[in-house]
Amino acid sequence: MLFKRLALTSGLLGLASARYALILPPGLFTGPITADYITPSLDQSDLDAPKLSHANASTFDWWTFDAIAAETPNASVAVTFSNAGPQGYPLPFPNNTSHINPNGTDNGGSGAEALWAHVWATFEDGSRFRTSQVVSTARVSGSGDSSLAIWHGGGGWMGSEEGYEVELDIDRAASAPGEEALRVSGRISLEKITPPHSRCSVPNNFSTALGLGDQGLGWVSVLPDALASVDIQINGRSLRFDGYGSHDKIWSSHPFTTTTKSLTRGRAHLGLFSLSWLSYTPAAGNPTNAALVSSFLARDGETVNAGCADGSVTITPTREQTEGGLVSGFQVTVPGARVSVATDIEEGESGGRHVRWNGRARGDILGADEEGVAIFERFEY
């Protein structure tokens, strides 16, 4: 029902007052492209707008939404809608096989299609699921603090100043012997807690510069923290929880893997506090090899600390004690907070070059001891 409302609302917006109403083609552009790294405003429609003039073989433009359960942080979901080429995108382009198992699954293969919907999910019992679905076409529209998108055959979203409704709608028949059909449906609801954040934004001053260094990578955290309600079905298995979520956007006019040494981004919700961090090290063009960083800290939805000072974010691997024993983890330090994260779930792909974690977080925030949950990921080459 929501997906039908998305289609109807998107059509009406395109006919009426949309600042932009675009159809993204399923194929890759063969010529040069341009990319935007300055946003004209912090309106949701501008932050969510496609940042590439076209997608070619060496570029990517993606929109990611994620959520983690507040009480059982094993449960999580992440969805990425992408417009990308096989040389530009850091994730594998799999064949049409997907299933749930205790350790996840890596799907091989490649493709030249531009439009994809990627889904990762982890369940309370520790089992994992991931799939990538090529889609036939995509439509995106935006006006003011509203944005709408439909990835036909994958899902879409409807955003407003209150938050987002994200729809999953994958229905794939088995196309080869031994291959299983796939049905993924449902929604992720995100209710806004915090305002948008870009790399060098500070409290009460949003930076409209969205580029990270000079290697062509752009990033903006459209919704750093939100109340999340998840209700999805994966081949009849339910994943339902309440927790915390976020939405960000990353794009590049150059191939990600050849211009990036590492990119880590993550977030945590502890008590009344919302915390997010980013650390990016380019593969070239950075003579000191120092990471470009960003941090964001809010209390009860109000930003109290944010910035991008060199060395202000440190991420250190640790071992954390949990009820089940020692597990791998991280200590994240940003201005105003020092947080330890125990990684209850670790999910890797691309030979370990892309890893996602979720787990429990605890630490000192502005002098107070707080506990909560965290979810983050790393690309490393």
Other residues' Cβ atoms within 10 Å of the Cβ of residue 324: 8
By the 8 A CB rule, do 182 and 235 touch? yes
The mean per-residue pLDDT over the stretch 105-115 comes to 54
Q: Structural domain boundaries of the chain?
A: 2-380
Q: What is the pLDDT of residues 177-207, one digit of tens each?
A: 767 899 999 999 999 999 999 999 999 999 9
Q: What is the pLDDT of residues 284-321, one digit of tens each?
A: 765 556 899 999 999 999 999 999 999 999 999 888 76
- Model-level pTM? 0.91
By the 8 A CB rule, do 183 and 168 touch? no
By the 8 A CB rule, do 363 and 340 touch? yes
Cα end-to-end span (Å), the chain: 42
The β-bridge relationship of strands 76-84 and 60-69 is antiparallel
Residue 105's pLDDT is 33
Give the confidence band of 351 by pLDDT, cuts at 50, 70, 90: low
By the 8 A CB rule, do 111 and 87 touch? no
**Smallest Cα–Cα separation from 190: which of 67, 366, 308?**
67
Tokens standing for residue 302: 């109000």
Q: What residues does 347 pair with on adjacent strands?
A: 356
User: Residue for token digits 């955290």?
Assistant: 221
In the predicted structure, residue 86 carries a pLDDT above the cut 50:
yes
